[in-house]
Chains A and B, each alone.
Chain A
Amino acid sequence: MATLEAPPAAPPAVDFSLSEDQQLLRDEVRRFSEERILPGEAERAAEHRFPEEIVAEMAELGLLGMLIGEEHGGAGVDPLTYCLAVEELSRASAAVGVTMSVSNSVCAWPISRFGSEEVKRRVLPELAAGALGAFGLTEPGSGSDVASMRTSARRDGDSWVLDGEKAWITNAGFARWYVVVARTGPDPGKRGLSAFAVPADAPGFAVGRPEEKMGLTSSRTAPIHFTGCRIPAGNLLGTEGQGFKIALAVLDHSRLGIASQAIGIHQRALEVSTAYAKEREQFGGPIVELQAIRFKLATMATELAAARALTWYAASIAERTPRHPDAPRLASQAKLYASEAANRACYEGVQIHGGNGFHADYEISRLFRDVRVTAIYEGTSEIQRMVIARHLLH
């Protein structure tokens, strides 16, 4: 497998095939998902129970260190391989998918990319071994408008001292490490922000009450509080004032993870809807024989193919040409399209299921609730369109 640091230099070509390694990994994660995740998913979702045992198994399979270099105990896979893993996990459980992708994309990745050698040596092997990661960016008063955040970090001798509150933190309470963006300078707006690696046992760090969510009920989301929270000076990621840039780089990267999550949900919605349509009889035959139903399936399948094409293309560009000028636009396009297409697919999936689709016993009802957030988190659809338009009009 290619590592993050060494993109291969194959001659240019148009080749849509997956490599043997990529196919092997996808098959392995699919087998794991079907055997270990799918069977308990409905129950965990109903009980709002965090999939702790699955996290441990994912660590054993190396899925929590996919974006960590081999020298720090990870697998260092290419972006597309990572996308395939997120898709397969999310096909079985969107909650497991986001738990895994948050730990990889928005915690391990920025630490690998922007952390000092010392921080990387301290943090990354732990994450690769199964300690979860999280990302603290959003605040109660600062969502899409990231630059308006108020959480502060003040230098005090060999420490940074953080004060403030972050909201909607996936993996909060279960994570061992948090990448946190806070205000370090007097500059208002984006120039005064810096990023830090904060351990869960830092003095002054606390996790609030878990949120009750519409979907992803077995993933954990909670606020985190910093009250004179003291961390070593070396836990600064990048340099002081680089926080906004790091946050944007993280989001560019993680958008492909969320696009892949949406694709996994979309794939599952198509599968369960097709199976239901073949089995459900009305008007004297299975409803899959009705053109109105078949055409819904055709549209779902076509939009799924389009979402995959955009996402895999963006991932392949991210691998071969990480600083490609179009890379942020391509990531946003993938996330925008995949999340909105998956929402349409789950909507139509419920429709195909009729009244049963509204019943908690049918998986499609969970998919419908789980998928909604893909058009919201890691940048709403509206933020993605702003990013895309900015690039077009540049």
Chain B
Amino acid sequence: MQIELSDEHVLLRDSVRRFAEEVVAPRAKEIDESGEFPREFYDQAGELGLAGVAVPEEWGGAGMDAVAYCLVIEEISRACATSGVILSVNNSLVCDPILKFGTDEQKREFLTPLASGAKLGCFALTEPGAGSDAAGLRTTARRDGDDYVLDGEKVFITNGTHADVALVFASVDLTKGHRGITAFLVPADREGYGHGSHEFKLGVNASGTTWLSFEDLRVPAAWRLGGEGDGFRVAMATLDGGRIGIAAQAVGIARGAMEEALAYAQEREQFGAPLASFQAIQFYLADMATELDAARLLTWKAAWAKENQKRYTLEAAQAKLFASEMAQRVTNKALQIHGGYGYTKEYNVERYFRDARITEIYEGTSEIQKMVIADWVVQRA
């Protein structure tokens, strides 16, 4: 057991931090307010290798490991949670499953442009009637000669307004339940592909989250990812990895809020002394730092397990559950330390507070994580 970042990790983290501070942070407030999808950020991130951090270089990625990926998402999310989730979706939910389940042809056609940042991906699983219960999806894929024909509607699709490629989950046979679910790689320029425009949200407001629609959308069978009926397994395996990204995002958001609260507590004076001199405030900060470190360690542990080909469903669920709930508490306390100023747009802390909220919901709510974790605990006992 040894937890020390390698020189390569430190180099990456420092350069991503610089990029985040110089390029990402200055626009965070503006895109939060306008909701404008930061496509140029994504392009720049792609040039730095951040669109496919853990994808091998031969497929256009940066060829680094899962811990490196956590560092990237934490640093970007510390500056701007919207930017963090845009990258997280492309890396974890699109590149990763193609790398794991795709044919070489699919990797050439789809993975290389996605991992290099030339294209942007989205993950289309959730539907109006199928959220946590993903197996209840109603989008269909009908085989027709060498093609499949997709029909249906997806909602809450991050990157949906700007994505070039969607990983779509549809059923080849609704009577088969989750055994009918099949995954497809679908370019957004196909006829019959539709998407919505910006939808205002509580937080991560510029993540391009919107609906997608498929009407008689024809895709060649060669773009099916995995076999017919493998889709549910693909989705679940993908979400295991995605949870590491969201945990890292929550850690980044919480760290951003914590750092601002720490600075504020040292400069703001009340009762003739800095806030930081009061034990109540010190104890908030102590709890925040402790939980933040615990969350980061759980996240790295899940990443380490993934990188070493161990089963990591439990570790990823625990990291995601703990980190997202930690981020609620830490951003809430950070806002409290800021007092009335924390409630204004003058400070970043209200944005961190709003952005943190979604980490407990997407890529499996806290309740879904607890179901996953409880299954492991009960089966092993």
> What residues make up the interface of A, taking CB atoms closer than 8 Å to B?
10-19, 22, 80, 270-271, 274-275, 277-278, 288, 291, 294-295, 297-303, 305-307, 309-310, 312-313, 315-317, 320, 329-330, 333, 336-337, 382, 384-386, 388-389, 392-393
- A80 near B1 with CB under 8 A, answer yes
- A14 near B5 with CB under 8 A, answer yes
Dominant secondary structure at the A interface: helix
Contact with A along B353-381 (1 / 0, CB 8 A): 00000000000000101110110111001
Known: A388-B286, A392-B285. A305 touches B318 (CB 8 A): yes
- A15 near B295 with CB under 8 A, answer no
Our pick among B283, B322, B373, B381 for the contact of A385 (Cβ within 8 Å) is B283
Rounded to whole Å, the gap between the CB of B35 and the closest CB of chain A is: 34
In the bound complex, residues from chain B placing their C-beta under 8 Å from that of A309 are 294, 297-298, 301
Give the residue name and chain of the A residue nearest to B10 (CB). A12
Complex Cα gap A15–B303 (Å): 10
Rounded to whole Å, the gap between the CB of B336 and the closest CB of chain A is: 16
Rounded to whole Å, the gap between the CB of A197 and the closest CB of chain B is: 32
Complex Cα gap A386–B295 (Å): 21
- A336 near B290 with CB under 8 A, answer yes
Complex Cα gap A275–B318 (Å): 21
Rounded to whole Å, the gap between the CB of A88 and the closest CB of chain B is: 16
Q: List 28 A-B contacts (CB under 8 A).
A: A12-B5, A14-B303, A15-B2, A17-B1, A19-B1, A274-B377, A274-B378, A277-B378, A294-B370, A297-B374, A298-B371, A298-B377, A301-B377, A305-B298, A305-B315, A306-B298, A313-B297, A315-B1, A317-B3, A333-B293, A382-B283, A385-B283, A386-B279, A386-B286, A388-B289, A388-B290, A392-B262, A392-B285
- A274 near B304 with CB under 8 A, answer no
Rounded to whole Å, the gap between the CB of A382 and the closest CB of chain B is: 8
The verdict on B6 contacting chain A, using a C-beta distance below 8 Å, is yes
The size of the chain B interface, using a CB distance under 8 A, is 46
In the bound complex, residues from chain A placing their C-beta under 8 Å from that of B282 are 385-386, 389, 393
- A302 near B2 with CB under 8 A, answer no
Rounded to whole Å, the gap between the CB of B14 and the closest CB of chain A is: 15
In the bound complex, residues from chain A placing their C-beta under 8 Å from that of B374 are 294-295, 297-298, 301
Complex Cα gap A308–B92 (Å): 27
- A16 near B293 with CB under 8 A, answer no
Contact with A along B291-326 (1 / 0, CB 8 A): 101110110110111000000000100100110000
Our pick among A278, A302, A317, A336 for the contact of B318 (Cβ within 8 Å) is A302
In the bound complex, residues from chain A placing their C-beta under 8 Å from that of B204 are none
Our pick among A277, A310, A312, A393 for the contact of B1 (Cβ within 8 Å) is A312
- B295 near A297 with CB under 8 A, answer no
Rounded to whole Å, the gap between the CB of A210 and the closest CB of chain B is: 34
Complex Cα gap A60–B264 (Å): 55
- A15 near B3 with CB under 8 A, answer yes
- Which residues B224-282 have CB closer than 8 A to chain A? 262, 265-266, 276, 279, 282
In the bound complex, residues from chain B placing their C-beta under 8 Å from that of A15 are 1-3, 304
The verdict on B36 contacting chain A, using a C-beta distance below 8 Å, is no
In the bound complex, residues from chain A placing their C-beta under 8 Å from that of B283 are 382, 385, 389
Instruction: Name the 3 nearest CB pairs between A and B, nearest first.
Output: A389-B282, A294-B374, A12-B4
Known: A16-B301, A288-B378, A393-B266. A316 touches B2 (CB 8 A): yes
Our pick among B2, B294, B370 for the contact of A10 (Cβ within 8 Å) is B2
Give the residue name and chain of the A residue nearest to B281 (CB). A389
- B4 near A297 with CB under 8 A, answer no
Known: A15-B304, A19-B1, A301-B318. A275 touches B373 (CB 8 A): no
In the bound complex, residues from chain B placing their C-beta under 8 Å from that of A315 are 1
The verdict on B67 contacting chain A, using a C-beta distance below 8 Å, is yes
Complex Cα gap A294–B3 (Å): 32
- A11 near B285 with CB under 8 A, answer no
Complex Cα gap A298–B376 (Å): 9
Complex Cα gap A17–B307 (Å): 13
- B6 near A12 with CB under 8 A, answer yes
- B1 near A18 with CB under 8 A, answer yes
Known: A11-B6, A275-B381, A392-B262. A16 touches B291 (CB 8 A): no
In the bound complex, residues from chain B placing their C-beta under 8 Å from that of A306 are 291, 294-295, 297-298, 318, 322
